[in-house]
Amino acid sequence: MQRSLHIDPEKCTGCLQCEMACSLENEKVFNIAKSRIKVFTFHEEGRFVPYTCTQCDEAWCMHACPVEAIQLNKLTGAKVVNESVCVGCKVCTIACPFGTVNYNEDSGKVIKCDLCGGDPECAKACPTSAIAYIDANWTGLDRMRSWAARTDTSARA
């Protein structure tokens, strides 16, 4: 069963626990700047929206990488950066249309969500269940894929 992150922005309080858990798991520090998940704040509306890599089927970051440092983890479906292969050229950061591949100045490599090997810390840390790791069939992934596959992009889904 393929699983994916499901984000419900209506439940997000902007507590940033997901960002802290992610940075601790991946960088061994509490530093939201080093998190692979970000919470976008809409100040005037008083709303928060967590966002991270959607692990696209047609992963532009992976295809753009000139040294093939981003590989598919067949167990989780995550597109994972192999740090020992990454040369830090940042081509994948440009290729990602969602801005979820970032450059880590400390390591000189790129970072992106790898689903924590199938046990995402962001989902475990979220006190309101705004982030959940669930069966991909329940996330609307098929509907998004169907819409993305359309050749007539001017019509609404």
Whether residue 81 is predicted with pLDDT greater than 60 in this model: the reply is yes
Query: Which of residues 24 and 135 earns the better pLDDT score?
Result: 24
- Strand intervals (E) in the chain: 3-7, 38-42, 47-51, 70-72, 79-81, 102-104, 109-111, 131-135
The alpha helices in 28-137, defined as continuous H runs, are: 60-64, 91-95, 121-125
pLDDT of residue 2: 78
How do residues 105-143 score in pLDDT, each as one tens digit?
999 999 999 999 999 999 999 999 999 998 866 555 565
Q: Which residue has the higher pLDDT, 83 or 153?
A: 83
Tell me what pLDDT residue 65 has: 98
60 and 101 belong to one structural domain: yes
Asked if residue 98 and residue 70 are part of one domain, the reply reads yes
* Same domain? 40 vs 72: no
Tell me, yes or no, whether 5 and 21 share the same domain.
yes
Range of the domain at 122: 1-52+118-142
Are 122 and 46 part of one and the same domain?
yes
Asked if 64 and 95 sit in the same domain, the reply is: yes
What's the token pair of residue 135?
A: 């069966």
Tens-place pLDDT, residues 10-22: 999 999 999 999 9
**Residue 82 within any structural domain of the chain:** yes
Number of separate domains in the chain:
2
Q: What is the rounded CA–CA span in Å between residue 120 and residue 4?
A: 10
Same domain, 86 and 62: yes
Model confidence at 157: pLDDT above 50? no
Tell me the average pLDDT of the chain: 90
Measured at the CA of 99, the angle between CA 46 and CA 61, to 5 degrees, comes to: 155
